Structure 1
Amino acid sequence: MKFGLLLPAGQAQLEAGGTPRALVELAREAERLGFASIWAGDSLARARVEPLTLLTAIAQATERITVGTAVLMPAHRNPVQTAMTLASLDLLSEGRLVVGVGAGFPGFSEQEFALSGVAFRTRFSHLDDVVALWRELWAATPKAFHGKVLHYDWLPEGVRPARPGGPPIWLGGATPAALRRTADRYDGWLPYPPDPADYASGLATIRAATNRAVTPALFLTVYVDSDPRRGERVLEDYAQGNYGRPLTEMSGIQATVTGSVPEVVAAVRRYAEAGAEHVMLRVGSLEPGGVERQLPLLAEVIAGAVA
């Protein structure tokens, strides 16, 4: 198994005492501790440091660690310009980029799409068109592109990324439609189902539908604490501060775990048994310095999970 860390780049976490420059140092420390990857999230509804800008700084400050988006919302950006930005980031990182993408979540993302000028009802077709366009721009110089919703009669010459064909693109989502689309056109799967059995079922559906290699990844919110009540309180504060919703609601949507190091290891292993191979850990804390204090505990979790 491989493990990654989601950077605490949201406004709520920064207001609790973090700084954008400290995020770069946090990434360097994660690399030193043996994390395989570092990730940045994306949102218009919840203010945060822009992920591609942040990952560019991290790519220059690190040497080996994979840098990735978890997840990028392509609807928020011009597709052609984003293809050039991602290719440039892949070049600067010397081929260490993974692009996790998503199409939003009902009840959370409608206003963001309206602000971006993309119809929420066609968000999946828009996402698939954008990804197809990126790959064409990275591989060749197409004169035009006509998808389901995107149509361009002229396209500029694109920036060539470090890797032929461009960085791997992983899809976030676990609906039946998302599983089919992952099998058809994506390089990895990055969901967050609360039940490992649902993860196993989703992965089996993907593998039954394709012969391509699809990386099975997982987005897991975690807080390591031997006192379960304290851990629940920290996660509750995080859910309210980050989403404005209670932990009971968010933990029914997103995989979430708290407990001692052995208890968190056991939870991770259940997902490993379900097929997860790359686990992205998000520390669910708004405490000043909370992620930094959790980092060595997460290193213990990683050591226990891979033992």
Structure 2
Amino acid sequence: MRLGLALPTFGTDAHPDGVIEVSRTAEELGYDSLWTGDRVLAPRSPSAPYPSGDGVMPRAYENHLDPLTSLAFAAAHTSRVRLGTSTLNGLWLPPLMLARALTSLDLLARGRLDVGLGLGWMPDEYEAVGVPWQGRGARLDETLDVLDAYWAGGEFAHAGPLFTVPRTVVGLKPSQRPRPPVLLAAFTPAGLRRIARRADGWLPVAMPLENLMQLWSSLLEEARKAGRDPAELRMALRVNPHLTEAPTDPQQLPRSGTLTQYVDYARRAAEAGVHELFVDLGQSPATLQERLDMAGRFIEGVRAG
């Protein structure tokens, strides 16, 4: 199982030195990937509860770096690790602008980009960027249509219900062909079917492994129904640890536990067939150096298993 680490693009360490330190240390420790999230607002009273924990949005989100710019910066300070978004809210940009940004990043990173797209959870952000909250699934489908046409290169045009692209020549091509891997975050039946039909993988958030693998089995069955080889799909599992000093009841995992308990969770995830697991230690009140130390102990513990 591949292991990844989240970049400090939220909170007090979301600055150049923090991104450089985590990027270089992750590569030195043997991590396989670096990941960023996406926020544009941190309202005092969001219109929808945060979709984990106690429903309160982490205050670290008050300070947020742009995810693609951060990955480009990390790419300049690394040479091996892959660079992923978990997730990029892909509906906040017109598809043509999104295609240019992603293609440029994959080219400049020499083919290390994993495109993780999601729909977000907070209507306030959609209001702020002028994009309708309703109809997100259809908007994502058409966005994927434009991305695929752009990545094919040569001439293309698009005329859809939401977007029109006049016929144009696209000379810019990503390093990865035919495209950078596209992974989608989804839990609804419609979302899982979309992954099965047209994505390269799934971006779930940590949950009890029995539930996770049941959803994965459903996704693979949808891929078979769509005429695809299920072996083409991969899963990259995000873990947001809420670290405790004393061990918690095993039923609390992966919501909370000690670092050792999260190491055990990761080992069991590998045994269950999870392809990649990445950990975001940014919600911890620890200092950056303390989090890097935890990242070292985490990967050492998982690899030792």
Q: TM-score, normalised by structure 2?
A: 0.82
Over 3 Å counting, the alpha-carbon distance change for 1:20 and 1:223 in structure 2 is: farther
Alpha-carbon spacing, 1:156–1:21, altered in 2? closer, same or farther (3 Å):
farther
Q: Which sections of structure 1, spanning at least 5 residues, go unmatched?
A: 230-250
- 2:264 pairs with 1:266: yes
User: What is the alpha-carbon distance in structure 1 between the residues aligned to residue 256 and residue 32 of structure 2?
Assistant: 21
Deviates more, 1:161-170 or 1:294-303: 294-303
Q: How many residues align?
A: 275
Matched with 1:216 is 235
- Could you report, residue by residue, the CA deviation over 1:170-221 in whole angstroms, capped at 9, with x for unpaired residues? 1012221211111111111011142212210111011112214111110101
The alpha-carbon distance between structure 1 residues 297 and 193, as it changes in their structure 2 partners (threshold 3 A), is closer
Counting only pairs closer than 5 Å after superposition, residues 292-303 of structure 1 correspond to structure 2 as: 292-303=289-300
Q: 1:102 aligns to what?
A: 118
Segments of 5+ residues of structure 2 without an aligned counterpart are 43-62, 224-228
Q: Distance in 1 between matches of 2:168 and 2:219?
A: 33
Q: The residue matched to 2:83 in structure 1 has which SS?
A: strand
Q: Deviations over 1:17-51 (max 9, x none)?
A: 55333212211111100110001111112341101
Change (3 A) 1:195 1:39: same
Alpha-carbon offset, residue 7 of structure 1 = 1.4
Query: Where in structure 2 are the equivalents of 1:1-307 lying within 5 Å?
Result: 1-10=1-10, 13-14=11-12, 19-46=15-42, 47-105=63-121, 109-155=122-168, 157-210=170-223, 211-212=229-230, 213-224=232-243, 226-228=245-247, 255-261=254-260, 263-287=261-285, 289=287, 291-306=288-303, 307=305
Cα distance in 2, alignment partners of residues 193 and 288 from structure 1:
21
- The 1:74/1:27 distance shift into structure 2, 3 A limit, reads same
Q: Say which is worse superposed, 208-217 or 152-161, in terms of deviation.
A: 152-161
Deviation at 1:119, TM superposition (A): 1.7
Greater fraction of residues in helix: 1
1:102 CA displacement = 0.3
**Aligned to 1:203, what secondary structure does the other structure show?**
helix
Decide whether aligned partners of structure 1 residues 75 and 209 sit closer, same or farther in structure 2, where only a CA change above 3 A counts: same
User: Do the aligned residues in 1 keep the contact of 2:8 with 2:282 (CA within 8 Å)?
Assistant: no
Change (3 A) 1:70 1:296: same
C-alpha separation in 2, matches of 1:215 and 1:303: 24
Tell me, yes or no, if the aligned pair for 2:8 and 2:22 is still in contact at 8 Å: no
- Deviations 1:219-242 (CA, angstroms, capped at 9, x unpaired): 10125554358xxxxxxxxxxxxx
Contact 1:224–1:294 (8 Å) recurs in 2: no
Give per-residue Cα distances to partners, 1:150-178, cap 9 Å, x unaligned: 33344452521111222101101222121
CA shift for structure 1 position 71: 0.7
Contact 1:144 1:155 in 2 (8 A): yes
Q: Is the 8 A contact 1:65 1:96 kept in 2?
A: yes
Report if aligned partners of 1:203, 1:275 keep a CA contact under 8 Å in 2: no
- Mapped to 2, the partners of 1:286 and 1:224 lie a distance apart of 7
Distance 2:214 2:164 in 1: 36
